[in-house]
Chains A and B, each alone.
Chain A
Amino acid sequence: MNEFQWLLKGRCYKLGHDVPHPGGVIPNWLIAGRYLDPKDLVPHLFEETDPGFHTRCKPGDIIVTGRNFGMGPKMNGYIAMQALGLGLVCESMPFLAYRAAIGCGVRVLTDCVNVTEMCETGDELEIDFRDGFFINHTKDIRREYPPMPDTLMEIVELGGNAGWLKDWQEKRRAGAA
């Protein structure tokens, strides 16, 4: 638990406003086909706008988006982001998209007003999801955004809903033993 990386240092990958989950984040056929295995999903992250993205990103890289990112409650794209070790920082997300990202264990900040004006793709970023501190080392910009709520950090640390529920069950069993 202590090793969980809440502070990410990596490159910025910037997207615009209104990027939908189907098509914009991951092809719709993977959503409709209910593919949930990271192995199936990772090769297709952002495939329709940037084929081969998964071969160029590195763990710790940060996706920075405009308003209304990821419309749609489905989890497929966030499963791929979590598997790749990426962070997500958005000007805004529909709530169910945010909920899906948390449920998949993605480090995510939302309601980061005008954050897309603070960075460009390739900039070196440093984000602490615990307190919302944002540093763009390339442009020497520092900002403070709303942090992740404590109660949701526990879910993300445990890898998302499935990990949280597994932990809950293990604790319950240990308590009963």
Chain B
Amino acid sequence: MGMTAAEKILASKSGLSTVSPGQIVYPVPDWIYLHDNFVMTAKRELDALGIDTLFDPDRVMMTSDHDVIYVNERALERGVYNRKAARDWGIKHFYDAGRGGHGHVFPMEEGLVLPGMFYFDDDRHCTNVGGIGALAFRVGEEISTVLATGTVWTRVPHTVRLTIRGELQRGVYARDLGFKIAQGLKSGGFFGIDIDYRILEFAGDLDQFSLAARVSLCSSPTEMRALGVFFPPSEAILEHARACAKRPFTPVTSDDDARFEAEIEMDVSKLEPQVALPGGPSNAADISSVAGTPIDHAFIGSCASGMWEDIALTASILKGHRIASGVRLFVTPGSEQTTRRMHREGLFETFMDAGAIVLPAGCGLCAGGRMGPVANDEVSISTAVDNATGRMGAKSARLFLGNPATVAVSALTGKITDPRNHI
């Protein structure tokens, strides 16, 4: 019996020839990742135990993406603490504020996270790396165990395979498909499966999806409690990886006779642009059902929609136009690399001419609305990963999610608008 890609990666990192779902293993990761909001918790726990040296500081990656510009005293204190922690621990891969961007975006752009790699992370959005054919598991507070010992107990998950049939229409994007997939994966959803602690592996007509699109598609299943998402890397992805790789890597794909817990499929050729209605990313609805709803606030960015392609799409729509009076639009690139390219290619001018506000690379508004929050009773449409009540500020605000084009067009018209007539 063959293994799925996730099983092969876990077996390899655990020093085993084979693993099967349910088995408990102790994989040694390629990276141990923690973001700025978690460093203090982990360091204090380890300090209290007298653990002042890490398993392997060279494997540790620390990023500052949740609080890039410190908007309160707590964030400021944390930034100071994190810099000292990086020095004390001897972390070389410390990407301080302004030095990398979003930790679930730039490592794939810069050849740090590569196909076939595995890492442990404090945050569930590490599933993004499935877009490049890697695997990462969230372990929350147990990241301190990994920092100290180099591993933590891991139950091998089942894998569900989703086969995509057909191609997305012009003006329909990966986020639209993501919302629809989330609707199918939720409890009682149309796929009729349980995705809790499973890997969702994509198959079928995948060549239409770039790295940015694949990363977008990793987002929504994560909100439905998938442990991981995995795309077998295409030749284009491998070419990108080879061009920027800073470490050796070995791509992994599922064996032909791998056992999947469930097989589901989806014809995407007739899908319309979707929005996620307020409450959660699985509340997918055809955009026509809410078109015309006035908006006050818009945001483009997050780990789901912050790559160059997302930002460039947005700029192509805004170029030469002004956003509607009374609407504020925030744009957050996912990485410093994208920010630099925005400078080089004149996108800053485009956004400024449009009246948009460009924020430094990172999570942007998606990190709990620390920057650019919504006020009471406002209506927002954004590319955030989640639109739970209160996620971006006031609890009485109505938060819609859409693809970057939908958000950009809606900011121009001042109301939720189907992007297909504007691209």
Contacts and interface: CB of A to CB of B under 8 A. Distances in A.
Given A103-B141, A161-B145, A152 B153 contact: yes
Interface string B189-206: 000000011000000000
Contacts of B142: 99, 103, 161
Contact of A152 (B24, B49, B197, B225): B24
Contacts of B196: 94-95
Interface residues of A, number: 20
Contacts of A73: 140
A168 B153 contact: no
A161 B142 CA distance: 7
Interface in B156-171: 157
B423 to A, nearest CB: 39
Contacts of A103: 141-142
Interface string B27-54: 0000000000000000001000111000
Interface in A123-177: 149, 151-152, 155, 161-162, 164-166, 168-169, 173
A173 B145 CA distance: 16
Given A75-B141, A165-B49, A165-B145, A151 B197 contact: no
Nearest to A97: B196
Q: Number of contact residues on B: which range applies?
A: 10 to 19
A96 B153 contact: no
B24 A169 contact: no
Given A149-B24, A151-B24, A168 B148 contact: yes
B172 interface: no
A100 B50 CA distance: 24
B127 to A, nearest CB: 13
Nearest to A100: B140
13 contacts: A73-B140, A75-B141, A94-B197, A95-B157, A96-B140, A151-B24, A152-B153, A164-B145, A165-B45, A165-B145, A165-B149, A169-B51, A173-B50
Given A94-B196, A95-B197, A95-B227, A165 B153 contact: no
B393 to A, nearest CB: 15
A131 B157 CA distance: 23
Nearest to A162: B45
B92 interface: no
Interface in B192-248: 196-197, 225, 227
B144 interface: yes
Contacts of A152: 24, 153
B422 interface: no
